[in-house]
Amino acid sequence: MNDQDNFDDNDEEEIIYVSRSEMKRDMLELQALGEAIVKLSKGQLDTIPIEDETLAEAIHTARRIKHREGLRRQMQYIGKLMRKVDTEAMATAYQKLQDGRKEEAREFHELEKWRDHLIASGHKSIEEVMERFPDADRQHLRQIVMQANKELKNKKPPAASRKLFRYLRELSGL
């Protein structure tokens, strides 16, 4: 019996070949994630779990760099560091932030539609708003809508329209 006969299929490890192009795409993807993380606000950055101390320091350094070429080099360094650590948790946290922003923007646009509908329809749509937001003060809502219509008619700045939007935002809890 020779060594090849003793070779068992269960012991065989699958060899996965990765092309240079695929490796470069992966590296650029990690660098793009690093750039996106660097651009986050301080509060948002605190929500991203960065376990590697060197990577965390490199990100904080990049946030302080103002020179374009220096920032480009720092971003390459961050990409290099990210190849050495597990970035799955960071990518997941970043994606949650992005999804939250999209949801917030969607709700914001919905409130804008409510405001525009209230101003266009006047008193008719107040009942719809009262159904949607039961805690709303009907009298206050009516006054703001009347002010907004008056401003619109007299071609004045939309102060009441902004006030109406802020009130709807307060009602929705945004």
The answer to whether residue 159 is domain-embedded is yes
- Please check whether residue 160 is in contact with residue 147, taking contact to mean a CB–CB distance below 8 angstroms: yes
Please check whether residues 57 and 113 belong to one and the same domain.
no
Residue 12 covered by a domain: no
**Model confidence over 53-88: pLDDT tens digits?**
999 899 999 999 989 999 999 988 998 898 888 888
Domains: count for the chain: 2
- Helix 88-121 and helix 138-153: axis angle, to 10°? 70
How confident is the model over 6-40, as pLDDT tens digits? 555 555 677 778 788 888 888 888 888 888 888 88
Q: Which of 86, 109, 128 is the last residue of a domain?
A: 86
Are both 118 and 66 inside the same structural domain?
no
Looking up tokens 């329809």, which residue turns up?
Answer: 121
Claim to verify: residue 113 and residue 157 sit in the same structural domain: yes
Rounded Cα distance between 166 and 124, Å, is 20
Q: Same domain, yes or no, for 168 and 105?
A: yes
pTM: 0.54
Whether 120 and 166 map to the same domain: the answer is yes
Alpha carbons 5 and 25: distance in angstroms, whole number = 41
> Exposed, middle or buried, 149 (CB in 10 Å: 0-12/13-18/19+)?
middle
CATH number of the domain residue 67 falls in: 1.10.60
- Full domain range(s) for residue 78: 17-86
Q: Which two tokens stand for residue 73?
A: 């080099």
